[in-house]
Each structure stands twice: as structure tokens, then as C-alpha cells.
Amino acid sequence: MKLYELTYLVSSELTPEQMEILVKKVNSLILENGEITGSFSPIKRNLTYPIKKQDTVFLNQIEFNFEPEEIDKFKKEINKQNEILRIMLTEKKNIKIKKKTRNTIIEPKSFLEDAKTPFKKELKETKQKIGLEEIGEKLDEILK
């Protein structure tokens, strides 16, 4: 069984009794080949653009486990319901959250003390001034 989430829009012209009957129909279709793991109560929403001449709808959402072989049949049955304007069926992936383990932290003082001394010596050695004549001689050697 895989975990799915069904979000569907229902016409706002339905009475509360009709809405309850429709939700029970959808739930019974799910329970034929699966199990409901979570559901949310319908929420009334205003749409930014009309769907089938409807400006306000009820948004319903259900999470459920279902057999993947039967999902196409389930979609066809849901689409037969005239009161449902749109559906979105998505497969949810089970995400396992790993606990973070604490790494050993290097103390900044000891680390910086070890790193500063050789680094400073290297800088002093490389900061020798080189005259223009020496640069010219080196270029001549390279170009020959």
C-alpha cells in the first residue's frame, strides 16, 4: 500500500447534509481498497477564477493508504461525482527524519594557536621585495 493525498473542490451550493453524504461516499470508495490515515474538515474558499461558474467552493483533503493497482479505478469513480469540481491526487512519500548526532567541536583557541604560527612564518618569507631589474632578468630567462 502507498500513501496518497486527495484534495478536492466541491460546489458551495450543496447543503450541509448533501456535503456530508458526498464525504461519506468518498470515504467509502477509499475504504473499499485502503484505509484513511487522516482527514480535514471542509473549508470554504473563494477562488481567484471561477471553476464551472463557481466562485466559492469547499476544499476537502484526505490522506489514505491505497493499493496502487486500484488507483485508476478510484480516480474514475471520483470523477463520476458531479458535485466534485476538481480533484488533485498525489502520492506522498514517507520521509524518515534522522536525528542529528553531535560532532566533536574543536576549541577555537587551541586550533588557532596551532594554525597561526606556521602561517605567519610563511607570510614573512614570501614578502621579500623584488626589484624591477630582478623581474626583468627572470622574464628574460623564461622567454629564452
CATH hierarchy code of domain 2-92: 3.30.70.60
Beta carbons of 61 and 5 less than 8 angstroms apart: yes
Q: How far apart are the first and last CA of the chain?
A: 76
Taking only the tens of pLDDT, the chain with its 144 residues reads 889 999 999 998 988 899 999 999 999 999 998 899 988 888 899 999 999 888 999 999 999 998 889 999 999 999 998 899 999 999 988 666 666 666 555 555 554 555 555 555 555 555 567 778 888 888 888 887
List CB contacts of 15: < 8 A, sequence separation 6 or more.
none
List every span in the chain annotated with CATH 3.30.70.60: 2-92
Give which of 82, 91, 65 is closest to 21, Cα–Cα. Answer: 82
- The structure's pTM equals 0.61
Question: 47 vs 54, 61, 70, CA distance in Å?
Answer: 8, 17, 31
